[in-house]
Structure 1
Amino acid sequence: MGKRILIVDDAAFMRMMIKDILTKNGFEVVGEAQDGNQAISLYNELKPDLVTMDITMPEMDGITALKEIKAGDPNAQIIMCSAMGQQAMVIDAIQAGAKDFIVKPFQADRVIEAIQKALN
């Protein structure tokens, strides 16, 4: 059975793109969230194997959500997604416990590589 993944991004188009990449590569997308608050409640409810988390979102940003999820589950596997030029935020995310980060626009091989690395 494919690994279970939660996608978090405020842009429906980005969620659709990453979902497409994941399902084509045998992963199961168990949920989608559009902000950090939703991400935390869905994480606790679904217990996915991995989360792809956008950094910049309304309500609660991805780094705050990452810290909240990691506080509740230190073993959570989270990969951050960011647009170009957010290097400082990426460093914050890695220090907060993110496994890796993927730059938008998504490149399928890079997404799969990051996910496989985080899950192994």
Structure 2
Amino acid sequence: MSKRVLIVDDAAFMRMMIKDILTKNGYEVVGEAQDGAEAVEKYKELSPDLVTMDITMPEKDGIAALKDIKALNGDANVIMCSAMGQQAMVIDAIQAGARDFIVKPFQADRVIEAISKVIG
């Protein structure tokens, strides 16, 4: 059975890029969200195996959403996505429970490597 992924990013183009990489590599994209608040709702609804989470978003940022998701499920697998130069935020995310992070612009092999490491 393919692993189920929820993609969270405020940029539709970025969601499309990740979705393309994941589906080509046998993962099932079960949902998309464009901000942290929507991400938490979709997580409750879909119970995905993994969430890819952008850090900088309107409404609720990725770190706040990560904390909410970890509060719902301590075993949740969340990989943060960040642009270059956000090291401090990445450290906050890892301390909040993120399993890994990938840097934008996405490189397909790095995305798949991070996801394989977390959920196989």
The alignment's TM-score, normalised by the length of structure 2, stands at 0.99
Return the alpha-carbon distance in structure 1 between the equivalents of residues 72 and 5 of structure 2.
Answer: 18
Return the alpha-carbon distance in structure 2 between the equivalents of residues 116 and 88 of structure 1.
Answer: 25
One-letter amino acid matched to 2:59: E
Match in the other structure for 1:35? 35
Alpha-carbon shift at residue 9 of structure 1 (Å):
0.0
Cα deviation per residue 1:95-116 (whole Å; 9 max; x = unaligned)?
Answer: 0000000000000000000001
Alpha-carbon shift at residue 2 of structure 1 (Å):
1.1
Map 1:1-120 → 2, pairs under 5 A: 1-120=1-120
The alignment's TM-score, normalised by the length of structure 1, stands at 0.99
Return the alpha-carbon distance in structure 2 between the equivalents of residues 118 and 93 of structure 1.
Answer: 15
Return the alpha-carbon distance in structure 1 between the equivalents of residues 111 and 55 of structure 2.
Answer: 16
Q: CA RMSD in A?
A: 0.5
Q: Which runs of 5+ in 2 are unaligned?
A: none
Q: Which runs of 5+ in 1 are unaligned?
A: none
Identity of aligned residues (%): 80
Cα deviation per residue 1:55-103 (whole Å; 9 max; x = unaligned)?
Answer: 0000000000000000110000000000000000000000000000000
One-letter amino acid matched to 1:29: V
Return the alpha-carbon distance in structure 1 between the equivalents of residues 83 and 69 of structure 2.
Answer: 22
Kindly tell me the number of residue pairs found equivalent between the two proteins: 120
Return the alpha-carbon distance in structure 2 between the equivalents of residues 108 and 70 of structure 1.
Answer: 26
One-letter amino acid matched to 2:16: M
